[in-house]
Amino acid sequence: MDTIPYKSVSLHKAVLFKGLTSQQYEDLLKRGLSKTLQSKTILFHQGDSAISCVIVNRGRLKLTKLNEQGKEVILRYIGIGELTAAIAVLKDRDYPVTAESIEETDVTVWDKPTMMQMMREYPDIAINLLGIILERIEDVQNRYLEVCTERVDQRIARSLLRLMRRAGLKVPDGIHINIPLSRQNIADYSGTTLYTVSRTLSAWEKKGWISSGRERIVVTDPHALVRFSETV
Amino acid sequence: MDTIPYKSVSLHKAVLFKGLTSQQYEDLLKRGLSKTLQSKTILFHQGDSAISCVIVNRGRLKLTKLNEQGKEVILRYIGIGELTAAIAVLKDRDYPVTAESIEETDVTVWDKPTMMQMMREYPDIAINLLGIILERIEDVQNRYLEVCTERVDQRIARSLLRLMRRAGLKVPDGIHINIPLSRQNIADYSGTTLYTVSRTLSAWEKKGWISSGRERIVVTDPHALVRFSETV
DNA sequence: CGCTCTATTGATAAACCTCAAATACAGTGG
DNA sequence: CCACTGTATTTGAGGTTTATCAATAGAGCG
């Protein structure tokens, strides 16, 4: 079981500090605070600093957002080597982004003053971070487009493919999405309900496109899913 | 008719160059390319540079995204003093963001090499841009949440309120949204169809919440709309 | 084995889209 | 000033999609 090479692990860590020497890199790591989070620990609801940066060294974070009625959407899963930046341009936000560990997770955190200092000292860090954030905005925009224009089953297909590319492990019968994913999680990630997800996955399981269990998804026919997701 | 003080005009221009002297600011402006766009001119479909920055000096841009079937969503309107940054991390994207002027528009454009140089020279520019982009990602995430969790009429209400805050002009009978907005535009901005928008606006017009005409919306009772948008 | 959490499935209802047709509006040229 | 034309808007009818509710089944754990 090795990670499929869709996306190299610890890519973003490299990207954030790209252009710096090893010595500088080591120094910057030391300025951050390392933490180990138990599973289901909330890392932040809302940073009280304008920018604070988190890199995941082990485990995985789930970024979510709640609306007034308590309905949740999953914005992203942050895996090993990836980072997330919390913002709080205004204080007392009502519906901020929440970062929660979904398994035991090691992170390195830089607070706002440290980040600001590092970015002023090494402009490349700000530029690198900008590149990462721009990729993120691209991702949200794509998902916004999807949720605005596509049927729910297409969106579920795209969601599985997206998760597969970012957290897929090769197993004998296909590609296992290495995140504990309940039907509710997939629904929150696709903008639908757990019932619709359940019905849809059942249908795909009958077709042999996936194989699933309790909080476990294996994509057995990725090409079929891709084709389906692009169906008119 | 003066701009309501929800958001100061030319705010972002100031933000991007915050921390620099007037002399430096003048110099940086000169490094950009100034253009005047006729109405309905496409400024970019896809930059072939990783980051290129555009500031609007007069007029307004519309940022849109198309899916495979040609369905369009409006990501944002970019008004005077605001900026947008085009990205093309990968080449040959199929569904990039499109920026189009919706009236005669003056812009200043910096290409990727220039932006990179400016950001390295003045780290504050990269940091400022980061702040702006983080606000943008916050905005898209909010709208993503809305489209995933709210009814279509609530989303239309929020869309009108959002546009009102960013492009509202006080008129005798309320606040005029100073953008030519067809029902189709509002639909593309809210993730619905022009028919649903038309029905919804008709209902609100009967209630006295808005007053509308061909490509023209005046919000006559903003509070009612706010209350409605927060209704369960 | 019993408890709890997750998943499945059917029935029903609500929300929303699609299509069609009619109407209103703005601009243009006679 | 008026008819004409092209676009925008309205509205109704009907159908599809998807959510909701309810009840049952299954999986994992002590």
The CATH number that applies at residue A89 is: 2.60.120.10
* Same structural domain, A88 and A21: yes
* pTM as predicted: 0.92
Boundary of a domain, candidates B130, B147, B164: B147
Beta pairing partners, A219: A175, A210
Nearest residue, CB atoms, A148 vs list B73, B126, B133 = B73
* Same structural domain, A93 and A158: no
* Same structural domain, B102 and B155: no
Domain hosting residue B214, numbered range: 151-229
* Same structural domain, B47 and B68: yes
**Cβ proximity of A146 and A152 under 8 Å:** no
Taking chain A (232 residues) in consecutive chunks of 10 residues, what is each chunk's mean pLDDT? 40 78 93 94 71 90 92 96 74 71 94 89 91 90 97 98 97 96 98 98 98 97 96 75
Residue A75: list chain B partners with CB under 8 A. 141, 144
If one counts the domains in chain A, the total is 2
- Residue A193, nucleotide of least CA–C1' distance: D19
* Same structural domain, B135 and B159: no
* Same structural domain, B126 and B178: no
Nearest residue, CB atoms, B145 vs list A67, A85, A87 = A67
Whether residue B10 has pLDDT greater than 60: no
At residue B8 the predicted structure's pLDDT band, cuts being 50, 70 and 90, is: very low
* Same structural domain, B25 and B13: yes
Q: What is the pLDDT of residues B62-104, one digit of tens each?
A: 999 999 888 999 999 999 999 998 775 444 555 589 999 999 9
* Same structural domain, A9 and A119: yes
Distance in angstroms (rounded) separating the CA atoms of residues A222 and A226: 6
**Cβ proximity of B3 and B171 under 8 Å:** no
The answer, for A9 touching chain B at a CB cutoff of 8 Å, is no
At residue B4 the predicted structure's pLDDT band, cuts being 50, 70 and 90, is: very low
* Same structural domain, B177 and B113: no
Residue A94: list chain B partners with CB under 8 A. none
Q: Given this model, what pLDDT does residue A80 score?
A: 94
Tell me, what CATH number does B209's domain have? 1.10.10.10
Q: Given this model, what pLDDT does residue A85 score?
A: 84
Boundary of a domain, candidates B147, B167, B201: B147
Q: Give the pair of three-digit tokens for residue A161.
A: 């493919």
Contacts of residue A58, Cβ cutoff 8 Å, sequence gap at least 6: A80, A104, A105, A106
Q: In what order do the strands lie in the sheet with A33-37?
A: A33-37, A105-110, A51-58, A83-87
3-class secondary structure, B86 = strand
Q: What is the pLDDT of residues B26-44, one digit of tens each?
A: 999 999 999 999 999 998 8
* Same structural domain, A21 and A114: yes
Distance in angstroms (rounded) separating the CA atoms of residues A179 and A196: 20
Q: What is the DSSP letter of B59?
A: S
Boundary of a domain, candidates A94, A115, A147: A147
More confident residue, A65 or B46: A65
* Same structural domain, A21 and A75: yes
Residue A123: list chain B partners with CB under 8 A. 119-120, 123, 126
* Same structural domain, A35 and A124: yes
Q: What angle do CA B131, B135, B136 make, to 5 degrees?
A: 115
Q: Which chain D positions have some atom within 7 A of a protein CB?
A: 8-13, 17-22, 26-28
